[in-house]
Amino acid sequence: GEDVEQSLFLSVREGDSSVINCTYTDSSSTYLYWYKQEPGAGLQLLTYIFSNMDMKQDQRLTVLLNKKDKHLSLRIADTQTGDSAIYFCAEKGTGNYGGSQGNLIFGKGTKLSVKP
């Protein structure tokens, strides 16, 4: 079936850049997403990218998409302690690998720890 893979942990120092990586299965996915989850809370959409784009920038966030390698990354510039959270990569399922078209397929999440 469709699968989204992420490393589970990332630790950076305050002020450094963070790069969270993700690989996905379905090369025909149209939309790819990054969600943020703070402790004890639900997920919030950070940003998304359409599959015909290579890069999207939104303030401190930069998303890079390599469709050939099915690789997505999220770069957070000038990382702050408030950025400490779990970050989920997700792809919009196409139904090509079973399951329902349109359902979001989530990775296991990368826990970002920011040290002062």
Positions 31 through 90 that interact with other proteins (CB under 8 A): 31, 33, 35, 40-45, 48, 50, 88, 90
Compute the least distance from the CB of residue 75 to other proteins, in Å.
21
> Is residue 8 within the footprint of other proteins (CB under 8 A)?
yes
> Is residue 97 within the footprint of other proteins (CB under 8 A)?
no
Residue 53 near residue 113, CB atoms below 8 Å: no
Residue 107 near residue 90, CB atoms below 8 Å: yes
From residue 23, how far is each of 16, 41, 73, 115 by CA, in Å? Answer: 23, 25, 9, 26
Count of positions on this chain that bind other proteins (CB under 8 A): 25
- Least Cα distance to 71 among 97, 32, 111 occurs for 32
Compute the least distance from the CB of residue 72 to other proteins, in Å.
15
Closer Cβ to other proteins, 12 or 46, answer by number: 46
